[in-house]
Structure 1
């Protein structure tokens, strides 16, 4: 005959393990979602960094916004700068 106390302990432990499994599954889903978000953020950052590098390499003035109005950013004056550097 099976000991009822042992069966009760086994049942209680199974319930604890089920709860732990549920918590771990939730944590794993959260970790995976955050990793996906970070991967997207990394790709966006790489793309923007590449675009900025291209803009700087082309030496074009970059349009900007000041007080909601479109403005053209003028590069800082440096020795030997040609008029072509201006917009």
Structure 2
């Protein structure tokens, strides 16, 4: 009979071990499920925030404002990672001319590239203002001699 008692004791001990292990595994499974639930919630929140930020982020198209009842294009400040595509088309063209010049360029040279009548008095002033606006927004740099170049 001692053999049967010994076997019964071993079976009972092993059952106790397995019950304990089952309890630990159940607790671990509950923790895993809770974490998965938290991750799912976090992902939903992130997706909502991402969509909201996308809606708030300026589009690649140029922003306009009303001045004196007329729509005018706004030149955004240069930001890290922002490409020239955020600029209005006329400013993109000016940037391309400045880049293709391979170095500092005079307003007169930009006017020639644009096909303007550079000899007409005051014809280059609006162009100078646009270039200066690009300087003020960080896209171009104005040198002491009045020439413009792409900002570093």
Structures share fold, TM-score greater than 0.5: yes
Shift of the alpha carbon at 1:76? Answer: 1.9
| TM-score, with length taken from structure 2 | 0.39
Q: In structure 2, what is the Cα distance between the partners aligned to 1:39 and 1:12? A: 40
Give the aligned partner of residue 64 of structure 1. Answer: none
1:12 paired to 2:25: no
More helix by share: 1
Q: In structure 1, what is the Cα distance between the partners aligned to 2:48 and 2:32? A: 24
> Following TM superposition, where does structure 1 have runs of at least 4 consecutive aligned residues deviating by more than 6 angstroms?
none
Q: In structure 1, what is the Cα distance between the partners aligned to 2:8 and 2:77? A: 80
For these two proteins, the number of residue pairs brought into alignment is 69
Q: In structure 2, what is the Cα distance between the partners aligned to 1:38 and 1:47? A: 14
Aligned to 1:76, the other structure's residue is in SS state coil
Give the aligned partner of residue 25 of structure 2. Answer: 24
| TM-score, with length taken from structure 1 | 0.66
Residue deviations 1:17-37 (CA, integer Å, cap 9, x gap): 100010000000000000000
Q: Unpaired segments of 5 or more residues in structure 2? A: 64-75, 79-83, 93-152
Give the aligned partner of residue 54 of structure 2. Answer: 53
Larger Rg: 2
Shift of the alpha carbon at 1:47? Answer: 0.4
Shift of the alpha carbon at 1:58? Answer: 5.4
Q: In structure 2, what is the Cα distance between the partners aligned to 1:53 and 1:76? A: 19
